[in-house]
Amino acid sequence: MGSESIAITDMKVRAVNNVTNVSINITRIDSRPRDVVSDAPGVVNQYINIDKSNVADADIGKVTMDFKVDKLWIKENNINESTISLYRYGINDQWTRLETVKTSEDNINIYFQAVSPGLSVFAVVGESKEGAKAPSPISQEKIKEVLVKKGYWKNIVIMLIIVITATIAIYLLKKRSTSAIKTSKFIRKFKQESYFQDFNIRLY
């Protein structure tokens, strides 16, 4: 299709209604169009405007678009190849990622295919590898520090349990000893009193 500078290499439109005298113009845009309120997410390879006449989105079942991305652009921008997608600008002034699959590659380009429900403004987008950094590994010193802290708190908990247990044991021993002393005093008192006391015994 057309110019080498346009990413789209082929496009097939499936119509659901009878349409005639359809005209479709594809234009590469170096920057975001004025009527588009926000940039496409990620690193933009290029914006593409598709104008149509004598056909509405309601007449279209789906649009299959083949497009290419220069390997040099991928390398220079440190793009993660698996994130390259075609986005469509449309509903509620939002960018929507289209289903995109890689189909082939050569020495210069990587080729993809995407499916869209209609025609409007599109963007070929990729994500930088720097934007998806793996979490840094925990150093051995950090691991040791964590383990030491865990051992420290573990020892504190054990000491608290021992102290609480010992306190309860001492309390129970003291309580038992006090009770025994009171019982002994009561028995002695009872014996002393009963020895000197006269009892009146009645027989029935």
Q: What is the pLDDT of residues 111-123, one digit of tens each?
A: 999 999 999 999 9
Lowest mean pLDDT among 26-35, 94-103, 120-129, 151-160: 151-160
Q: Among residues of the chain, what percentage have pLDDT more than 70? A: 70
Largest CA distance in the chain: 136
CA nearest neighbour of 69 among 33, 112, 27: 112
- The helix (H) or strand (E) run that includes residue 180 is helix 140-196
Minimum mean pLDDT range among 12-26, 86-100, 151-165: 151-165
Sheet holding 109-116, edge to edge: 8-15, 60-70, 109-116, 99-105
CA separation for the pair 175, 123 (Å, rounded): 84
CA angle 163, 166, 171 (to 5 degrees): 125
DSSP letter string, 82-100 = EEEEEEEE-GGG-EEEPEE
172 has pLDDT over 60: yes
Distance CA 103, CA 107 (A): 14
* Residue 79 one-letter amino acid: I
pLDDT band at 135 (very low <50, low <70, confident <90, very high): very low
Write phi, then psi, for 190 (nearest 5 degrees).
-60, -40
Tokens of 191: 């014996």
